Amino acid sequence: MEHIFKEGNDKQSPTLLLLHGTGGNERDLLPIAEMISPNSSVLSVRGNILENGMPRFFRRLAEGVFDEEDLIFRTKELHDFIEECSNQYQFDRNNVLAIGYSNGANIAASMMYHYQNALAGTILLHPMVPIREVELPNLANTPIFIGAGLNDPIIPKAETKELIDTLRAADGTVTEYWGEAGHQLTREEIEQAKQWYDGNF
């Protein structure tokens, strides 16, 4: 997978896995990583799927309707890729924190749905429920931050609430932040994510 790896100064802090939104690339979230943990190593990955020329992490059938078979395949692909990168770049595979926006947040959530201890924590920015009728592994050791927009035209509030409830039911510790904005990222939610990060890591 196309990616950027940037070695950080602090080997004890989590490696930040950056996962962009639809139409983004591996450079999009680098400024956010810098705001949240400037001394961390960073692994920023570009999605392997193209939708009308726009990179994504998995296919969808329509807006908000995911190709579940492809989602499962691509989730495993990303999970395996992180393992390969941890060997190549010599970072701790058990200390990886995902920061995902929109489509990137959805595949990060899918990793937690499908794999025990896939991530040490996650910052999910404007996520949706990745898949239903899946039994989640226990998430007791996985702190989760979810940033959402009260006026998001793409993701209904009930969708985000369902995701939060599902993660909590699997013993995940979820911190939620609701801004007034729509689907775009705001400085306020990144500052809230930074506070959450400092309190947990």
Catalytic residue ranges? 102, 152, 183
Query: Is there a contact between 144 and 175 (Cβ–Cβ < 8 Å)?
Result: yes
Strands 42-45 and 3-6: antiparallel
- For residues 128, 45, 189, 134, the Cα torsion angle rounded to the nearest 10 degrees is 30
| Rounded-to-integer distance, Cα 103 and Cα 188, Å | 20
| Rounded-to-integer distance, Cα 128 and Cα 160, Å | 6
Output b/e per residue, 55-68; b: 16+ Cβ within 10 A.
bbbbbbeeeeebeb
Q: What is the CA angle 27-23-94, rounded to 5?
A: 50
